[in-house]
Structure 1
């Protein structure tokens, strides 16, 4: 039987019974280890899906590491190192140079990985390891009724970036070389009740947080509108690849951090997600 992403994850939940797996309701595994708490995450990029066909291999390497570091940023974590899986091709030198650039930029060591050669679409994988900087480690499951909902930065830059390939603009770089918010994530972590990064679209990821937390997240269009490109509001909330942080916390956080209040957490109702009081129109974002 063929399953989509959501159905397949449901099949896996019966196997992922260790507390570190967080019920597969988060982007990372969290493992107490002596006096430390270790955080592990893994992401895969597929040519033609997560990166464009013919993408510069150096940019692919950057994005592969950056999306994993973004998951760590959402946990307030300090990276320890990465393991990288690479599918060989004619641009291996450029891939290694991109790896060098991103790893040096974020002071993250390469610890190992794997190499393969095969026909068809190329695939790359990365496992990132980190240590927690605060406890409890932020989770998708901690949003509480009465919390405010916040987001960092702008939404939709990567969506525009895919339309201006190679321009070197802020939008182009947002798609090709996203910036993991490691420092901001560490600063926010002690103050949040829930936090995750936005990879598949704000609406879809907000719904995931609401379902994991057993609540309703009510978003406000008037607060979100200034964060999106003019005339592209609906698309920007769904497109993804933003790698901003979505979080819940007590009211007033915006007075102390660079975050925008975009809604409120409510008791669970008929819908896990509301936009101006109504469930938003499907699809909410990217799903395999």
Structure 2
């Protein structure tokens, strides 16, 4: 099976999942040198790309269906952090071989994910080499409404969505044969859910946002640096799932919630008055968030402990750092 047959068989049919404001935005999708796309009036285009590499982001032999969901969830999470509506994706696959037994479940799961998020696959590339997957996602946000990292102000509350540390717990189940597998934690690692609706709703309440991919401390520090402020976080307020707490000790769970990474939840800063309005007018949205700290004027990131505040190193994953992710 050559490259063009591969594309036609497994991916051409995946370009038909758009809905909402992007339903008529694909003028030409898969099958030409470029996709021809139309941005709706009054909307800005936001773009992000993510790559998964075998041996770095997943172990050899990982179920290709799981990889499809993980790639899409991780990529769309960036759009969620901007408050954007997903629209299109381009896909680049580097494959050791045109293996139909791998491509069929990957393509099927990718189609499910595209339908879930309402995204059109509009193009991409395939080549031979060590297994690597890249997805470039595109989305729309009203002009001037995108959530940026640079808007946090002293006095804002630091909030996070969902629960943290679960993905790192799932990874531990994969890597450590002495740890009993936990379906919930494994699902959080393999199938992260991008908080798209929450991000869109939070455009009217949040001052800044980032998705938690490298770890809470690292991604919150990105917000603080871009905004020229600092913050203090209380580790006792971190939202930790009952599954993670039951599977690992409290200190490990807290450490992974702070720096484990790849939870693909949202970290947002919200002015106190907006938080009050959010709780009163949109309690279902507020219920998805946990306040864990406060933005202040002192540069840096600190943790609140029983002995007082201590400086927190923004530990997280960095592909080219001299040290690997804390475990």
State TM-score, norm by structure 2.
0.72
Runs of 4+, deviation exceeding 6 Å: none
38-47 or 216-225: bigger deviation: 216-225
Note if 1:275 corresponds to 2:271: no
| C-alpha deviation, 1:164, in angstroms | 3.2
Match of 1:149 in 2: 158
Q: 1:81 aligns with which of 70, 82, 88?
A: 88
Larger radius of gyration: 2
**Contact conserved, 2:79 with 2:85, CA < 8 A, in 1?**
yes
* RMSD after superposition: 2.1
In 2, distance between residues paired with 1:185 and 1:239? 22
> Which stretches in structure 1 are left out of the alignment for 5+ residues?
1-31
Are residues 75 and 266 of structure 1, via their aligned partners in 2, closer, same or farther at CA, if it must alter by over 3 Å?
same
**Contact conserved, 1:76 with 1:133, CA < 8 A, in 2?**
no
| C-alpha deviation, 1:236, in angstroms | 2.7
Match of 2:291 in 1: 261
Match of 1:42 in 2: 49
Match of 2:5 in 1: none
Match of 1:197 in 2: 211
1:30-179 paired onto structure 2 within 5 Å: 35-88=42-95, 89=97, 90=99, 91-118=102-129, 121-133=130-142, 135-165=144-174, 169-179=183-193
In 2, distance between residues paired with 1:236 and 1:152? 12
**Contact conserved, 2:240 with 2:257, CA < 8 A, in 1?**
no
> Which stretches in structure 2 are left out of the alignment for 5+ residues?
1-38, 175-179, 320-327
Q: Which deviations, in whole Å up to 9, do the C-alpha atoms of 1:181-217 show, x marking residues without a partner?
A: 1111111122110011100111111111111111102
State TM-score, norm by structure 1.
0.81
| C-alpha deviation, 1:251, in angstroms | 1.4
